A and B are shown apart, each in its own frame.
Chain A
Protein backbone atom coordinates (compact mmCIF):
# COMPACT_ATOMS: atom_id res chain seq x y z
CA UNK A 1 0.00 0.00 0.00
CA UNK A 2 2.46 2.59 -1.14
CA UNK A 3 2.50 5.29 -3.73
CA UNK A 4 2.77 3.70 -7.13
CA UNK A 5 4.51 4.98 -10.24
CA UNK A 6 1.67 7.33 -11.15
CA UNK A 7 1.79 8.96 -7.75
CA UNK A 8 -1.44 7.37 -6.60
CA UNK A 9 -1.12 7.21 -2.81
CA UNK A 10 -3.70 4.58 -1.80
CA UNK A 11 -2.69 4.56 1.86
CA UNK A 12 -3.37 8.30 1.99
CA UNK A 13 -6.69 7.89 0.15
CA UNK A 14 -7.84 5.13 2.52
CA UNK A 15 -7.48 7.57 5.41
CA UNK A 16 -10.26 9.64 3.83
CA UNK A 17 -12.71 6.74 4.37
CA UNK A 18 -13.21 6.17 8.11
CA UNK A 19 -15.36 3.05 7.61
CA UNK A 20 -12.52 1.11 6.00
CA UNK A 21 -10.51 1.09 9.21
CA UNK A 22 -12.32 -1.67 11.08
CA UNK A 23 -12.22 -5.37 11.85
CA UNK A 24 -14.99 -7.68 10.62
CA UNK A 25 -15.19 -11.12 12.23
CA UNK A 26 -11.74 -10.56 13.69
CA UNK A 27 -10.19 -9.72 10.31
CA UNK A 28 -9.45 -6.36 8.66
CA UNK A 29 -12.41 -5.35 6.50
CA UNK A 30 -11.82 -5.90 2.78
CA UNK A 31 -14.71 -4.08 1.13
CA UNK A 32 -15.22 -5.41 -2.39
CA UNK A 33 -18.92 -4.62 -2.85
CA UNK A 34 -18.44 -1.23 -4.48
CA UNK A 35 -20.78 -1.93 -7.38
CA UNK A 36 -23.61 -2.22 -4.82
CA UNK A 37 -22.64 0.96 -3.03
CA UNK A 38 -19.45 2.87 -2.36
CA UNK A 39 -18.15 4.03 1.02
CA UNK A 40 -18.20 7.73 1.87
CA UNK A 41 -15.15 9.93 2.36
CA UNK A 42 -15.08 12.14 5.44
CA UNK A 43 -15.66 15.26 3.28
CA UNK A 44 -19.05 13.87 2.18
CA UNK A 45 -20.02 12.96 5.75
CA UNK A 46 -18.93 16.44 6.88
CA UNK A 47 -20.93 18.13 4.13
CA UNK A 48 -24.09 16.35 5.31
CA UNK A 49 -23.42 17.15 8.97
CA UNK A 50 -22.56 20.79 8.24
CA UNK A 51 -25.68 21.27 6.17
CA UNK A 52 -27.93 19.96 8.92
CA UNK A 53 -25.89 21.69 11.65
CA UNK A 54 -25.63 25.16 10.11
CA UNK A 55 -27.66 25.70 6.94
CA UNK A 56 -30.76 23.47 7.02
CA UNK A 57 -33.66 25.24 5.37
CA UNK A 58 -36.01 24.80 2.44
CA UNK A 59 -34.84 25.95 -0.97
CA UNK A 60 -36.22 28.40 -3.55
CA UNK A 61 -38.85 29.60 -1.09
CA UNK A 62 -37.61 31.78 1.73
CA UNK A 63 -36.08 35.22 1.76
CA UNK A 64 -34.29 34.53 5.02
CA UNK A 65 -30.58 33.88 5.32
CA UNK A 66 -30.66 30.13 5.93
CA UNK A 67 -32.90 29.57 2.92
CA UNK A 68 -30.55 31.65 0.79
CA UNK A 69 -27.56 29.60 1.94
CA UNK A 70 -29.34 26.29 1.36
CA UNK A 71 -30.55 27.43 -2.06
CA UNK A 72 -27.09 28.57 -3.08
CA UNK A 73 -25.47 25.28 -2.04
CA UNK A 74 -28.25 23.30 -3.72
CA UNK A 75 -27.84 25.21 -6.99
CA UNK A 76 -24.06 24.79 -6.84
CA UNK A 77 -24.69 21.04 -6.47
CA UNK A 78 -26.50 21.09 -9.79
CA UNK A 79 -23.63 22.91 -11.48
CA UNK A 80 -21.17 20.36 -10.10
CA UNK A 81 -23.26 17.52 -11.53
CA UNK A 82 -23.46 19.34 -14.87
CA UNK A 83 -19.69 19.76 -15.01
CA UNK A 84 -19.19 16.15 -13.91
CA UNK A 85 -21.11 14.93 -16.97
CA UNK A 86 -20.05 17.86 -19.17
CA UNK A 87 -23.69 18.63 -19.95
CA UNK A 88 -24.45 21.80 -21.89
CA UNK A 89 -26.46 23.55 -19.20
CA UNK A 90 -27.70 23.21 -15.63
CA UNK A 91 -31.28 22.91 -16.82
CA UNK A 92 -30.43 19.57 -18.40
CA UNK A 93 -29.62 18.15 -14.94
CA UNK A 94 -32.71 16.74 -13.21
CA UNK A 95 -32.29 15.53 -9.64
CA UNK A 96 -33.93 12.17 -9.07
CA UNK A 97 -33.82 9.55 -6.30
CA UNK A 98 -31.36 7.43 -8.23
CA UNK A 99 -30.85 5.56 -11.48
CA UNK A 100 -34.10 3.58 -11.16
CA UNK A 101 -36.10 6.75 -10.59
CA UNK A 102 -34.44 8.46 -13.57
CA UNK A 103 -35.21 5.56 -15.91
CA UNK A 104 -38.82 5.46 -14.73
CA UNK A 105 -39.10 9.19 -15.36
CA UNK A 106 -37.99 8.75 -18.97
CA UNK A 107 -40.23 5.68 -19.40
CA UNK A 108 -43.29 7.57 -18.21
CA UNK A 109 -42.66 11.07 -19.56
CA UNK A 110 -40.77 10.38 -22.77
CA UNK A 111 -41.54 6.83 -23.89
CA UNK A 112 -45.18 6.53 -22.86
CA UNK A 113 -46.50 9.36 -25.06
CA UNK A 114 -44.25 8.30 -27.97
CA UNK A 115 -44.88 4.54 -27.95
CA UNK A 116 -47.70 2.93 -29.93
CA UNK A 117 -48.93 -0.55 -30.70
CA UNK A 118 -46.39 -2.52 -32.72
CA UNK A 119 -43.51 -0.17 -31.85
CA UNK A 120 -40.18 -1.38 -30.43
CA UNK A 121 -37.89 -0.51 -27.54
CA UNK A 122 -34.39 -2.00 -27.64
CA UNK A 123 -32.44 -3.03 -24.53
CA UNK A 124 -29.61 -5.55 -24.08
CA UNK A 125 -29.10 -8.92 -22.40
CA UNK A 126 -26.83 -7.38 -19.77
CA UNK A 127 -29.33 -4.88 -18.34
CA UNK A 128 -30.06 -4.48 -14.64
CA UNK A 129 -33.73 -5.14 -13.79
CA UNK A 130 -34.21 -1.39 -13.41
CA UNK A 131 -33.42 -0.95 -17.11
CA UNK A 132 -35.69 -3.84 -18.12
CA UNK A 133 -38.91 -3.70 -16.15
CA UNK A 134 -39.98 -0.06 -16.81
CA UNK A 135 -39.73 -0.78 -20.56
CA UNK A 136 -41.22 -4.26 -20.35
CA UNK A 137 -44.33 -3.11 -18.52
CA UNK A 138 -44.77 -0.11 -20.79
CA UNK A 139 -44.44 -2.31 -23.89
CA UNK A 140 -47.00 -4.76 -22.51
CA UNK A 141 -49.41 -1.94 -21.81
CA UNK A 142 -49.02 -0.40 -25.26
CA UNK A 143 -48.84 -3.62 -27.27
CA UNK A 144 -45.25 -2.76 -28.19
CA UNK A 145 -42.24 -5.11 -28.36
CA UNK A 146 -39.15 -5.24 -26.17
CA UNK A 147 -36.18 -6.26 -28.34
CA UNK A 148 -33.02 -7.55 -26.68
CA UNK A 149 -29.47 -7.23 -28.07
CA UNK A 150 -27.63 -10.54 -27.57
CA UNK A 151 -24.10 -10.79 -26.16
CA UNK A 152 -21.04 -12.97 -26.73
CA UNK A 153 -19.73 -15.55 -24.27
CA UNK A 154 -17.14 -13.03 -23.12
CA UNK A 155 -19.95 -10.60 -22.38
CA UNK A 156 -19.74 -8.18 -25.31
CA UNK A 157 -22.69 -6.72 -27.15
CA UNK A 158 -23.16 -8.13 -30.64
CA UNK A 159 -23.28 -4.85 -32.54
CA UNK A 160 -24.28 -6.47 -35.85
CA UNK A 161 -27.30 -7.99 -34.12
CA UNK A 162 -28.11 -4.61 -32.60
CA UNK A 163 -28.14 -3.00 -36.04
CA UNK A 164 -30.52 -5.69 -37.28
CA UNK A 165 -32.92 -5.00 -34.41
CA UNK A 166 -33.30 -1.32 -35.34
CA UNK A 167 -36.37 -0.75 -37.51
CA UNK A 168 -38.61 2.18 -38.40
CA UNK A 169 -40.72 1.04 -35.42
CA UNK A 170 -37.87 1.50 -32.90
CA UNK A 171 -38.73 4.35 -30.55
CA UNK A 172 -35.89 4.15 -28.03
CA UNK A 173 -32.66 2.34 -27.21
CA UNK A 174 -32.02 1.91 -23.45
CA UNK A 175 -28.59 0.50 -22.69
CA UNK A 176 -26.15 0.23 -19.82
CA UNK A 177 -22.79 1.97 -20.10
CA UNK A 178 -21.04 -0.60 -17.87
CA UNK A 179 -22.53 -3.98 -16.87
CA UNK A 180 -22.97 -4.39 -13.10
CA UNK A 181 -22.29 -8.12 -13.42
CA UNK A 182 -19.77 -8.46 -16.27
CA UNK A 183 -17.93 -5.15 -16.06
CA UNK A 184 -18.20 -4.84 -19.84
CA UNK A 185 -17.85 -1.24 -21.05
CA UNK A 186 -20.25 -0.82 -23.93
CA UNK A 187 -19.29 1.30 -26.98
CA UNK A 188 -21.86 3.98 -26.27
CA UNK A 189 -20.65 6.44 -28.92
CA UNK A 190 -21.03 3.80 -31.61
CA UNK A 191 -24.41 2.63 -30.26
CA UNK A 192 -25.68 6.23 -30.24
CA UNK A 193 -24.38 6.96 -33.71
CA UNK A 194 -26.10 3.89 -35.16
CA UNK A 195 -29.37 4.79 -33.42
CA UNK A 196 -29.22 8.47 -34.36
CA UNK A 197 -28.64 7.59 -38.01
CA UNK A 198 -32.14 6.18 -37.84
CA UNK A 199 -33.53 9.01 -35.73
CA UNK A 200 -33.80 6.87 -32.56
CA UNK A 201 -32.91 8.42 -29.19
CA UNK A 202 -30.73 6.59 -26.65
CA UNK A 203 -30.93 6.39 -22.86
CA UNK A 204 -27.76 5.29 -21.07
CA UNK A 205 -27.78 3.70 -17.61
CA UNK A 206 -24.54 5.12 -16.23
CA UNK A 207 -24.79 3.78 -12.67
CA UNK A 208 -21.69 1.57 -13.00
CA UNK A 209 -19.73 3.87 -15.31
CA UNK A 210 -19.57 7.26 -13.56
CA UNK A 211 -17.67 5.92 -10.50
CA UNK A 212 -14.87 4.61 -12.70
CA UNK A 213 -14.28 6.87 -15.71
CA UNK A 214 -14.68 10.43 -16.95
CA UNK A 215 -18.08 10.67 -18.67
CA UNK A 216 -18.83 13.35 -21.25
CA UNK A 217 -22.47 13.18 -22.33
CA UNK A 218 -21.88 15.57 -25.22
CA UNK A 219 -19.11 13.37 -26.57
CA UNK A 220 -21.22 10.24 -26.08
CA UNK A 221 -24.06 12.00 -27.86
CA UNK A 222 -26.72 10.19 -25.85
CA UNK A 223 -30.14 11.75 -25.26
CA UNK A 224 -30.54 10.66 -21.64
CA UNK A 225 -27.93 9.59 -19.09
CA UNK A 226 -28.75 8.43 -15.56
CA UNK A 227 -26.67 7.72 -12.46
CA UNK A 228 -26.92 7.36 -8.66
CA UNK A 229 -25.11 9.48 -6.07
CA UNK A 230 -24.40 6.61 -3.71
CA UNK A 231 -22.29 4.81 -6.28
CA UNK A 232 -19.99 7.84 -6.64
CA UNK A 233 -19.20 8.03 -2.92
CA UNK A 234 -22.18 10.30 -2.18
CA UNK A 235 -25.38 9.73 -0.19
CA UNK A 236 -28.21 7.34 -1.04
CA UNK A 237 -31.53 8.70 -2.29
CA UNK A 238 -30.08 11.16 -4.79
CA UNK A 239 -29.16 10.77 -8.43
CA UNK A 240 -29.09 12.59 -11.74
CA UNK A 241 -31.01 12.34 -14.95
CA UNK A 242 -29.31 14.21 -17.77
CA UNK A 243 -31.55 14.88 -20.74
CA UNK A 244 -31.11 16.99 -23.85
CA UNK A 245 -33.09 20.15 -23.23
CA UNK A 246 -35.13 19.92 -26.45
CA UNK A 247 -36.38 16.49 -25.37
CA UNK A 248 -37.00 17.51 -21.75
CA UNK A 249 -38.86 20.64 -22.86
CA UNK A 250 -41.30 18.58 -24.88
CA UNK A 251 -41.93 16.01 -22.15
CA UNK A 252 -44.86 16.27 -19.73
CA UNK A 253 -44.02 16.31 -15.99
CA UNK A 254 -43.50 12.92 -14.31
CA UNK A 255 -44.99 13.85 -10.95
CA UNK A 256 -47.10 16.82 -9.99
CA UNK A 257 -47.01 19.13 -7.00
CA UNK A 258 -45.23 22.19 -5.69
CA UNK A 259 -41.93 23.58 -6.99
CA UNK A 260 -42.68 22.37 -10.52
CA UNK A 261 -45.22 25.12 -11.15
CA UNK A 262 -45.20 28.74 -12.24
CA UNK A 263 -48.78 29.57 -11.33
CA UNK A 264 -51.80 27.66 -10.11
CA UNK A 265 -55.51 28.38 -10.11
CA UNK A 266 -58.22 25.79 -9.47
CA UNK A 267 -58.80 25.71 -13.21
CA UNK A 268 -55.27 25.72 -14.61
CA UNK A 269 -51.59 25.22 -13.82
CA UNK A 270 -48.60 26.57 -15.72
CA UNK A 271 -45.57 24.34 -15.29
CA UNK A 272 -42.21 25.68 -14.28
CA UNK A 273 -39.17 25.75 -16.58
CA UNK A 274 -36.49 23.11 -16.68
CA UNK A 275 -35.21 21.53 -14.54
CA UNK A 276 -37.89 22.34 -11.94
CA UNK A 277 -40.71 20.94 -14.08
CA UNK A 278 -39.40 17.48 -13.14
CA UNK A 279 -38.65 18.16 -9.48
CA UNK A 280 -41.92 18.49 -7.55
CA UNK A 281 -41.87 18.80 -3.77
CA UNK A 282 -38.99 19.62 -1.46
CA UNK A 283 -35.92 18.05 -3.01
CA UNK A 284 -33.25 15.95 -1.27
CA UNK A 285 -31.23 19.08 -0.45
CA UNK A 286 -28.70 17.35 1.80
CA UNK A 287 -28.31 14.64 -0.83
CA UNK A 288 -27.50 17.18 -3.55
CA UNK A 289 -24.97 18.92 -1.29
CA UNK A 290 -23.42 15.59 -0.26
CA UNK A 291 -23.22 14.41 -3.86
CA UNK A 292 -21.59 17.73 -4.76
CA UNK A 293 -18.94 17.11 -2.10
CA UNK A 294 -18.37 13.62 -3.54
CA UNK A 295 -17.93 15.08 -7.04
CA UNK A 296 -15.41 17.59 -5.68
CA UNK A 297 -13.58 14.75 -3.97
CA UNK A 298 -13.41 12.67 -7.18
CA UNK A 299 -12.27 15.69 -9.18
CA UNK A 300 -9.59 16.30 -6.57
CA UNK A 301 -8.12 12.88 -7.34
CA UNK A 302 -8.97 13.04 -11.04
CA UNK A 303 -11.22 10.59 -12.89
CA UNK A 304 -8.46 9.69 -15.34
CA UNK A 305 -6.11 8.74 -12.50
CA UNK A 306 -8.91 6.73 -10.85
CA UNK A 307 -9.54 4.97 -14.15
CA UNK A 308 -5.85 4.10 -14.60
CA UNK A 309 -5.37 2.89 -11.01
CA UNK A 310 -8.53 0.76 -11.03
CA UNK A 311 -7.67 -0.69 -14.41
CA UNK A 312 -4.30 -1.84 -13.06
CA UNK A 313 -5.99 -3.31 -9.97
CA UNK A 314 -8.60 -5.11 -12.08
CA UNK A 315 -5.95 -6.59 -14.32
CA UNK A 316 -4.18 -7.94 -11.25
CA UNK A 317 -7.45 -9.29 -9.81
CA UNK A 318 -8.52 -11.00 -13.03
CA UNK A 319 -5.09 -12.59 -13.32
CA UNK A 320 -5.23 -13.85 -9.71
CA UNK A 321 -8.77 -15.23 -9.94
CA UNK A 322 -8.29 -16.88 -13.32
CA UNK A 323 -5.33 -18.74 -11.83
CA UNK A 324 -7.43 -20.52 -9.19
CA UNK A 325 -8.53 -24.03 -10.09
CA UNK A 326 -12.30 -24.43 -9.86
CA UNK A 327 -13.02 -20.71 -10.27
CA UNK A 328 -14.72 -19.57 -13.44
CA UNK A 329 -14.90 -15.87 -14.28
CA UNK A 330 -18.12 -14.61 -15.87
CA UNK A 331 -17.44 -11.52 -17.99
CA UNK A 332 -14.08 -11.42 -19.70
CA UNK A 333 -14.50 -8.66 -22.27
CA UNK A 334 -11.31 -6.75 -23.05
CA UNK A 335 -11.14 -3.25 -21.57
CA UNK A 336 -13.75 -4.07 -18.95
CA UNK A 337 -14.35 -2.05 -15.78
CA UNK A 338 -13.96 -2.85 -12.09
CA UNK A 339 -16.21 -5.90 -11.67
CA UNK A 340 -15.16 -9.53 -11.24
CA UNK A 341 -18.03 -12.03 -11.22
CA UNK A 342 -17.23 -15.66 -10.64
CA UNK A 343 -18.68 -19.04 -9.86
CA UNK A 344 -16.98 -22.06 -8.33
CA UNK A 345 -17.31 -25.76 -9.13
CA UNK A 346 -17.45 -26.74 -5.48
CA UNK A 347 -19.53 -24.04 -3.81
CA UNK A 348 -22.71 -22.07 -4.43
CA UNK A 349 -22.25 -18.26 -4.46
CA UNK A 350 -24.06 -17.89 -1.13
CA UNK A 351 -21.72 -20.30 0.56
CA UNK A 352 -18.81 -18.41 -1.00
CA UNK A 353 -20.22 -15.15 0.36
CA UNK A 354 -20.63 -16.48 3.90
CA UNK A 355 -17.13 -17.98 4.01
CA UNK A 356 -15.56 -14.81 2.56
CA UNK A 357 -17.38 -12.77 5.20
CA UNK A 358 -15.85 -14.85 7.97
CA UNK A 359 -12.50 -13.80 6.46
CA UNK A 360 -13.54 -10.13 6.57
CA UNK A 361 -14.07 -9.97 2.79
CA UNK A 362 -17.34 -8.33 1.66
CA UNK A 363 -18.61 -9.38 -1.77
CA UNK A 364 -22.05 -9.52 -3.28
CA UNK A 365 -23.66 -12.84 -4.08
CA UNK A 366 -26.86 -13.53 -5.95
CA UNK A 367 -28.33 -12.61 -9.30
CA UNK A 368 -27.36 -8.93 -8.99
CA UNK A 369 -30.78 -7.83 -10.26
CA UNK A 370 -29.89 -9.26 -13.67
CA UNK A 371 -31.78 -12.56 -13.82
CA UNK A 372 -32.00 -12.67 -17.65
CA UNK A 373 -28.20 -12.33 -17.75
CA UNK A 374 -27.86 -15.20 -15.25
CA UNK A 375 -30.00 -17.30 -17.61
CA UNK A 376 -27.75 -16.31 -20.51
CA UNK A 377 -24.76 -17.79 -18.69
CA UNK A 378 -26.73 -20.72 -17.26
CA UNK A 379 -26.00 -19.92 -13.62
CA UNK A 380 -28.52 -19.17 -10.82
CA UNK A 381 -26.20 -16.64 -9.22
CA UNK A 382 -22.59 -15.45 -9.07
CA UNK A 383 -20.21 -14.08 -6.47
CA UNK A 384 -19.06 -10.58 -7.41
CA UNK A 385 -16.03 -8.68 -6.20
CA UNK A 386 -16.21 -5.06 -7.34
CA UNK A 387 -13.35 -2.62 -6.97
CA UNK A 388 -12.82 0.96 -5.99
CA UNK A 389 -9.73 3.17 -6.10
CA UNK A 390 -9.40 2.68 -2.32
CA UNK A 391 -8.82 -1.07 -2.79
CA UNK A 392 -5.33 -2.49 -3.00
CA UNK A 393 -3.47 -5.45 -4.43
CA UNK A 394 -2.98 -6.63 -0.84
CA UNK A 395 -6.77 -6.83 -0.57
CA UNK A 396 -6.96 -8.85 -3.79
CA UNK A 397 -4.48 -11.25 -2.18
CA UNK A 398 -6.78 -11.51 0.86
CA UNK A 399 -9.69 -12.26 -1.48
CA UNK A 400 -7.68 -15.05 -3.07
CA UNK A 401 -6.77 -16.41 0.36
CA UNK A 402 -10.44 -16.35 1.38
CA UNK A 403 -11.40 -18.21 -1.83
CA UNK A 404 -8.77 -20.82 -0.94
CA UNK A 405 -10.63 -21.21 2.35
CA UNK A 406 -13.86 -21.90 0.41
CA UNK A 407 -12.08 -24.60 -1.55
CA UNK A 408 -10.74 -26.05 1.69
CA UNK A 409 -14.19 -26.19 3.33
CA UNK A 410 -15.82 -27.76 0.27
CA UNK A 411 -13.00 -30.11 -0.65
Chain B
Protein backbone atom coordinates (compact mmCIF):
# COMPACT_ATOMS: atom_id res chain seq x y z
CA UNK B 1 0.00 0.00 0.00
CA UNK B 2 1.52 3.33 -1.00
CA UNK B 3 1.72 5.85 1.78
CA UNK B 4 -0.63 8.77 2.19
CA UNK B 5 2.28 11.11 1.72
CA UNK B 6 2.61 9.94 -1.89
CA UNK B 7 -0.97 10.99 -2.46
CA UNK B 8 -1.40 14.13 -0.41
CA UNK B 9 1.87 15.83 -1.23
CA UNK B 10 2.44 19.29 0.12
CA UNK B 11 2.14 20.94 -3.29
CA UNK B 12 -1.22 19.23 -3.86
CA UNK B 13 -2.53 20.36 -0.48
CA UNK B 14 -1.33 23.87 -1.22
CA UNK B 15 -3.22 23.96 -4.54
CA UNK B 16 -6.28 22.58 -2.76
CA UNK B 17 -6.29 25.31 -0.14
CA UNK B 18 -5.33 28.09 -2.57
CA UNK B 19 -6.52 27.07 -6.03
CA UNK B 20 -5.07 29.13 -8.90
CA UNK B 21 -7.30 30.78 -11.52
CA UNK B 22 -10.34 29.89 -9.43
CA UNK B 23 -12.78 32.23 -11.11
CA UNK B 24 -15.35 32.50 -13.82
CA UNK B 25 -13.69 33.91 -16.93
CA UNK B 26 -16.04 36.61 -18.22
CA UNK B 27 -14.25 36.83 -21.56
CA UNK B 28 -14.23 33.06 -22.11
CA UNK B 29 -15.12 31.83 -25.59
CA UNK B 30 -15.03 28.13 -24.72
CA UNK B 31 -16.37 26.39 -21.62
CA UNK B 32 -17.48 22.97 -20.44
CA UNK B 33 -18.90 21.32 -17.33
CA UNK B 34 -17.51 18.21 -15.67
CA UNK B 35 -19.48 16.26 -13.11
CA UNK B 36 -18.89 12.98 -11.30
CA UNK B 37 -22.34 12.34 -9.87
CA UNK B 38 -21.34 9.49 -7.53
CA UNK B 39 -18.65 11.66 -5.93
CA UNK B 40 -20.35 15.00 -6.23
CA UNK B 41 -17.21 16.49 -7.85
CA UNK B 42 -18.31 19.31 -10.09
CA UNK B 43 -16.27 21.67 -12.25
CA UNK B 44 -16.90 24.47 -14.73
CA UNK B 45 -13.89 25.19 -16.92
CA UNK B 46 -13.57 28.43 -18.90
CA UNK B 47 -11.12 29.11 -21.73
CA UNK B 48 -10.24 32.08 -23.83
CA UNK B 49 -8.76 30.70 -27.04
CA UNK B 50 -7.39 32.86 -29.85
CA UNK B 51 -5.53 31.65 -32.93
CA UNK B 52 -5.21 28.18 -31.44
CA UNK B 53 -3.63 29.56 -28.30
CA UNK B 54 -5.06 29.35 -24.78
CA UNK B 55 -4.85 32.98 -23.68
CA UNK B 56 -6.57 32.52 -20.35
CA UNK B 57 -8.23 29.82 -18.28
CA UNK B 58 -10.32 29.69 -15.13
CA UNK B 59 -12.38 27.16 -13.20
CA UNK B 60 -15.05 26.96 -10.54
CA UNK B 61 -16.77 24.15 -8.73
CA UNK B 62 -16.65 21.87 -5.71
CA UNK B 63 -14.77 18.68 -5.16
CA UNK B 64 -12.22 16.73 -3.20
CA UNK B 65 -8.63 17.87 -2.72
CA UNK B 66 -7.41 15.77 -5.63
CA UNK B 67 -9.93 17.07 -8.18
CA UNK B 68 -9.48 20.65 -7.00
CA UNK B 69 -5.68 20.57 -6.97
CA UNK B 70 -5.62 18.85 -10.34
CA UNK B 71 -7.88 21.54 -11.83
CA UNK B 72 -5.77 24.29 -10.30
CA UNK B 73 -2.56 22.81 -11.70
CA UNK B 74 -4.21 22.30 -15.07
CA UNK B 75 -4.93 26.01 -15.35
CA UNK B 76 -1.28 26.81 -14.67
CA UNK B 77 0.10 24.27 -17.08
CA UNK B 78 -2.08 25.07 -20.12
CA UNK B 79 -2.29 28.85 -19.78
CA UNK B 80 -0.36 30.45 -22.64
CA UNK B 81 0.07 27.13 -24.45
CA UNK B 82 -1.11 26.21 -27.92
CA UNK B 83 -4.12 23.92 -28.21
CA UNK B 84 -1.81 21.28 -29.63
CA UNK B 85 0.56 21.56 -26.65
CA UNK B 86 -2.39 21.35 -24.23
CA UNK B 87 -3.33 18.06 -25.86
CA UNK B 88 0.24 16.81 -25.37
CA UNK B 89 0.12 17.76 -21.70
CA UNK B 90 -3.23 15.95 -21.37
CA UNK B 91 -1.72 12.85 -22.98
CA UNK B 92 1.33 12.89 -20.70
CA UNK B 93 -0.88 13.38 -17.63
CA UNK B 94 -3.31 10.66 -18.64
CA UNK B 95 -0.48 8.23 -19.30
CA UNK B 96 1.05 8.97 -15.92
CA UNK B 97 -2.18 8.04 -14.12
CA UNK B 98 -3.41 5.13 -16.21
CA UNK B 99 -0.28 3.39 -17.50
CA UNK B 100 1.90 2.70 -14.46
CA UNK B 101 4.68 1.07 -16.51
CA UNK B 102 4.98 3.82 -19.11
CA UNK B 103 7.98 6.13 -19.15
CA UNK B 104 7.04 9.59 -17.93
CA UNK B 105 7.54 12.71 -19.98
CA UNK B 106 8.94 14.85 -17.16
CA UNK B 107 9.52 17.89 -19.37
CA UNK B 108 5.88 18.03 -20.31
CA UNK B 109 4.52 17.10 -16.88
CA UNK B 110 6.58 19.52 -14.81
CA UNK B 111 4.72 20.15 -11.49
CA UNK B 112 1.94 17.77 -12.50
CA UNK B 113 4.27 14.96 -11.54
CA UNK B 114 3.20 15.49 -7.93
CA UNK B 115 -0.12 13.86 -8.85
CA UNK B 116 1.61 10.64 -9.92
CA UNK B 117 0.78 9.07 -6.54
CA UNK B 118 -2.92 9.08 -7.47
CA UNK B 119 -2.28 6.16 -9.85
CA UNK B 120 -1.78 3.98 -6.75
CA UNK B 121 -5.33 4.80 -5.59
CA UNK B 122 -7.52 3.45 -8.41
CA UNK B 123 -10.76 4.81 -6.94
CA UNK B 124 -9.36 8.34 -7.03
CA UNK B 125 -8.03 8.50 -10.61
CA UNK B 126 -11.43 9.72 -11.77
CA UNK B 127 -11.07 12.71 -9.43
CA UNK B 128 -7.69 13.68 -10.88
CA UNK B 129 -8.71 13.42 -14.54
CA UNK B 130 -12.10 15.17 -14.32
CA UNK B 131 -10.75 18.67 -15.02
CA UNK B 132 -8.61 17.34 -17.86
CA UNK B 133 -11.46 15.65 -19.68
CA UNK B 134 -13.46 18.82 -19.15
CA UNK B 135 -10.61 20.74 -20.80
CA UNK B 136 -10.74 18.51 -23.87
CA UNK B 137 -14.50 18.93 -24.09
CA UNK B 138 -14.15 22.72 -23.91
CA UNK B 139 -11.45 22.68 -26.63
CA UNK B 140 -13.64 20.43 -28.79
CA UNK B 141 -16.58 22.76 -28.30
CA UNK B 142 -18.70 20.02 -26.72
CA UNK B 143 -21.48 21.48 -24.63
CA UNK B 144 -22.78 18.34 -22.92
CA UNK B 145 -21.44 17.52 -19.45
CA UNK B 146 -18.32 15.39 -19.03
CA UNK B 147 -17.92 12.59 -16.52
CA UNK B 148 -15.00 10.32 -15.67
CA UNK B 149 -16.93 7.82 -13.56
Which residues of chain A have a CB within 8 Å of any CB of chain B? 25-26, 347-351, 354-355, 358, 366-367, 374, 380-381, 405, 409-410
Contact = CB atoms under 8 A, between A and B. Distances in A.
A200 B93 CA distance: 58
Interface of B: 1, 3-4, 7-8, 13, 38-42, 62-66, 68, 121, 123-124, 127
Contact of B66 (A349, A351, A374): A351
A358 B1 contact: yes
Contacts of A358: 1, 3-4
Contacts of B68: 348
Contacts of B127: 350
Given A354-B121, A366-B38, A381-B39, A348 B4 contact: no
A350 B4 contact: no
B118 to A, nearest CB: 10
A366 B39 contact: yes
A410 B13 contact: yes
In the A-B complex, the 7 residue pairs with the smallest Cβ-Cβ separation, listed nearest first, are A380-B40, A348-B64, A350-B64, A381-B40, A25-B1, A351-B65, A351-B64
A348 B65 contact: yes
B1 A354 contact: no
23 contacts: A26-B1, A350-B39, A350-B66, A350-B127, A351-B64, A351-B66, A354-B123, A354-B124, A355-B4, A358-B1, A358-B3, A358-B4, A366-B38, A367-B40, A380-B40, A381-B40, A405-B4, A409-B4, A409-B8, A409-B13, A410-B8, A410-B13, A410-B65
Nearest to A381: B40
Most central of A348, A355, A380, A409 by chain B CB within 10 Å: A348
B26 to A, nearest CB: 25
Nearest to B61: A380
Contacts of B121: 354
A285 B62 CA distance: 45
B65 A347 contact: yes
Contacts of B64: 348-351
Given A349-B40, A380-B62, 8 more contacts: A347-B65, A348-B63, A349-B64, A354-B124, A358-B1, A366-B38, A380-B42, A380-B63
Contacts of A348: 63-65, 68
Nearest to B63: A348
A374 B38 CA distance: 13
A133 B39 CA distance: 19
B4 to A, nearest CB: 5
Nearest to A26: B1
Contacts of A354: 7, 121, 123-124
A26 B2 CA distance: 11
A193 to B, nearest CB: 37
A366 B4 CA distance: 20
A409 B7 CA distance: 10
A358 B68 CA distance: 21
Nearest to B1: A25
Nearest to B7: A354
A349 B123 CA distance: 13
A102 B39 CA distance: 27
Nearest to B123: A354
Contact of A366 (B1, B40, B124): B40
Nearest to A411: B13
B67 to A, nearest CB: 8
A347 B13 CA distance: 10
Contacts of B124: 350, 354
A263 to B, nearest CB: 47
Most central of B39, B41, B124 by chain A CB within 10 Å: B39
Nearest to B118: A354
Contacts of B40: 349, 366-367, 374, 380-381
Contacts of B38: 366-367
A358 B3 CA distance: 8
Most central of A349, A354, A355 by chain B CB within 10 Å: A354
Nearest to A365: B39
A189 B68 CA distance: 46
B65 to A, nearest CB: 5
Contacts of A410: 8, 13, 65
